[in-house]
Amino acid sequence: MVMMLIYVDDLLITTSDSQLVNKLKQVLYQIFRMKDLGDLKFFLGNEVDKTKYGIVLTQIKYALELIEDTDLGGTKVAITALEHNQILTFVEYDEMLQSNKEDEIMIDITLYQWVIGRLLYLTRTQPDIAFSVQRLSQFMQIP
């Protein structure tokens, strides 16, 4: 059995029999212009590593880019979980509510939305952050 995944212009082929892969590639070369990039190392933003136990997907490069893009490289690492009953609001938002100026535009929310979107993408390989990111994503409209 041969399994094939096509995503836009990327094609992944896998099987336990390398001869089947070679035969399929020969047929495809006759029909399409293709380039064989060898063993899978990177796909759709994921690093792919083969181990003796199976395949490991990571997003280390993506996570490092996110840290760099948000200028958080020099901050301390804190291994803490977000509490289930924690209420999250910005101090600016609380002050705005107290001053009855709710119609004022507080901050540019697109930066917050951009960071949350990138964190949501990261949860594909980091399920340990999924709860916290989900909680933070509840504030996409008014951070």
| Angle, vertex CA 83, rays to CA 99 and CA 139, nearest 5 | 45
How large is the average pLDDT for residues 104-126?
A: 83
pTM of the complete model: 0.67
pLDDT at 74 over 60: yes
Q: What is the pLDDT of residue 96?
A: 65
Residue corresponding to tokens 């999250």? 88
- Contact assessment for residue 59 and residue 45, using Cβ atoms and an 8 Å cutoff: yes
Q: Which of 78, 72, 84 is nearest to 132 (CA)?
A: 84
Which residue type, as a one-letter code, is found at position 93?
Y
d(CA 92, CA 105): 11
d(CA 105, CA 89): 15
Percentage of residues in the chain with pLDDT exceeding 90? 36
